[in-house]
């Protein structure tokens, strides 16, 4: 085999391997969507939309994403650049890709965005810190408001809160909810929350999802939270190891 033919053959196999990896990653992305269909749409201006209403158009190789807000306001425009990020799975992995809004569809008052899926997808760690779902009783109170709710999940740096009713005040990135009281079975603390995203569940749920970073915690409370999360992480690691050995 000549050197020229050797190089061509090597490049051919390299291209085939790249295509196979791209297909494998795409199939894994589609499987992940089917298992847990939640996406974050990060706009070029820094805003975030969280959507739980997603369908795929395989013929057009695109995602159809429904915007769920109580006032149905148009947040994105055609050709707006966006970053699409899947929800974190049990291994704290996410799929993400960069694209743009191809089309906007108004369907009986709902806003649907069509986003093209590119060939190149990325897979990586979304959160470095350990995060747990809070299944036990919890209560969240926000100062100077009548709104209360529960803690959905928690890490050493952040939390996802579910408030009863539609939070009426405009909340944008880096805005803070001040003097929040979080009371759980294993600990209670006060803090501020720098909001990272906000989403609304329409009727009949009528709830508000607010995710953000925990700020201004007392050092003792931060230490207690770190210790609790470390203990829960060790428990989960032992459970996974026992499951693999069984």
pLDDT in tens, 75-91: 778 888 888 888 766 66
Sign, CA dihedral 185-190-195-200, equals positive
Confidence of residue 4 (pLDDT cuts 50, 70, 90): very low
Q: What is the pLDDT of residues 119-151, one digit of tens each?
A: 777 776 554 567 788 888 899 988 777 778 899
- The residue ranking higher by pLDDT, 145 or 187, is 187
Query: 3-125: CATH homologous superfamily?
Result: Electron Transport, Fmn-binding Protein; Chain A (2.30.110.10)
- For residues 90 and 126, give the distance between their C-alpha atoms in angstroms, rounded to a whole number: 11
CB 73 within 8 A of CB 121: no
Alpha helix ranges (H) inside the chain:
3-35, 219-245
- Model-level pTM greater than 0.85? no
Q: What is the pLDDT of residues 87-112, one digit of tens each?
A: 766 666 777 888 888 888 877 767 78
Residue 112: phi, psi to the nearest 5? -115, 130
CB 163 within 8 A of CB 148: yes
Share of residues in the chain with pLDDT > 70 (%): 72
- Mean pLDDT value across the chain: 76
pLDDT at 204: 74
pLDDT at 137: 87
Confidence of residue 220 (pLDDT cuts 50, 70, 90): very high
- For residues 112 and 70, give the distance between their C-alpha atoms in angstroms, rounded to a whole number: 14
Residue 189 in this model has a pLDDT that exceeds 80: yes
Residue 1 in this model has a pLDDT that exceeds 60: no
Q: Establish whether domains 3-125 and 131-245 are of one fold.
A: no
From residue 25, alpha-carbon distances to 28, 29, 31, 121, 204 in Å are: 5, 6, 10, 7, 37
Query: 131-245: CATH homologous superfamily?
Result: predicted glycosyltransferase like domains (2.40.10.220)
Residue 190 in this model has a pLDDT that exceeds 90: yes
**Tokens of residue 104, six digits:** 């906007």
Q: Domain spans of the chain?
A: 3-125, 131-245
Q: What is the pLDDT of residues 26-39, one digit of tens each?
A: 777 777 676 666 77
């Amino acid at each position: 085999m000549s050197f020229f033919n050797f190089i061509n053959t090597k490049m051919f196999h390299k291209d085939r391997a790249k295509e196979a990896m791209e297909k494998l990653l795409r199939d894994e992305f589609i499987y992940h969507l089917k298992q847990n269909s939640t996406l974050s749409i990060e706009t070029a201006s820094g805003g975030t939309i969280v959507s739980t209403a997603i369908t795929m158009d395989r013929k057009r190789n695109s995602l159809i994403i429904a915007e769920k807000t109580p006032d149905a306001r148009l947040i994105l425009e055609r050709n707006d650049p966006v970053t699409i990020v899947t929800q974190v799975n049990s291994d704290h992995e996410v799929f993400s890709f960069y694209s743009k809004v191809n089309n906007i569809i108004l369907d009986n008052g709902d806003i649907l965005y069509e986003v093209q899926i590119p060939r190149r997808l990325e897979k990586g760690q979304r959160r470095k810190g350990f995060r747990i779902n809070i299944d036990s009783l919890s209560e969240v109170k926000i100062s100077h408001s009548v709104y209360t709710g529960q803690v959905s999940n928690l890490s050493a740096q952040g939390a996802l809160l579910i408030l009863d009713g539609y939070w009426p005040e405009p909340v944008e990135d880096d805005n803070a909810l001040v003097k929040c009281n979080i009371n759980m079975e294993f600990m209670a603390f006060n803090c501020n929350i720098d909001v990272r995203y906000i989403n609304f569940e329409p009727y009949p749920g009528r709830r508000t999802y607010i995710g953000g970073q925990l700020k201004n915690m007392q050092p003792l409370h931060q230490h207690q939270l770190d210790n609790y999360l470390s203990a829960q992480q060790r428990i989960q690691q032992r459970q996974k190891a026992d499951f693999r050995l069984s």
